[in-house]
Amino acid sequence: MRVVFLGPPGSGKGTQAKLLASRLGVPAISTGEILRAAVLERKPLGLQAKAIMDTGELVSDDLMVALIQERTQDADARGGFILDGFPRTIAQASALEAMLTATGQSLSGVLNLSVPEPLLVDRMAGRAAAESRSDDVPSTVRERLRVYREKTAPLVDYYRQRDLLADVDGVGSISEVSDRIDRALRSVPMRRTAGSRA
């Protein structure tokens, strides 16, 4: 099973991606973790990414796609994977689709975690206090949410048009949301076979 998690910052997608990966016995692949691992292992792509990050610039779509492609070809990902933090843009989604098609694969589904914005702000404020995360302080939270709406939210329509998207209520306990995710995943393949793909 190959699943993409979508959702704004603070929606819990990182936590749920890891839990789903554990239930399915496949790796949860986070772009941040890929970058850190590639740098630590001194892989050519990792060194290239580090050189970019050291200048304070964002890693390009092309390089992120190459890193994802390299990671998904590892032995532990051959039976499937959960993507958290990728794709972030329509261009990355198109590249992911082309990459999977080239190897005779496809996405099993896309899970969109929905959480009201006031609750997201509260969650991230709590996380900032508990984990000392500088990106979760109030001064940056609303900007992160604005960037999400502008850059990543369009992926919801992109995947909905492909009959791959399942909306999941992200409000509730971790186990409640996990149960909704399992039910949503069971519904996505039925929609894909029942309807035409865009």
Sheet with 2-6, side-by-side order of all strands? 28-30, 81-84, 2-6, 109-114, 165-169
Measure Cα distances from 13 to 83, 133, 195 in Å.
Answer: 10, 17, 27
3-state secondary structure the chain: CEEEEECCCCCCHHHHHHHHHHHHCCCEEEHHHHHHHHHHCCCHHHHHHHHHHCCCCCCCHHHHHHHHHHHHCCHHHCCCEEEECCCCCHHHHHHHHHHHHHCCCCCCEEEEEECCHHHHHHHHHHHHHHHCCHHHCHHHHHHHHHHHHHHHCHHHHHHHCCCCEEEEECCCCHHHHHHHHHHHHHHHHHHHHHCCCC
Active site residues: 13, 88, 127, 133, 144
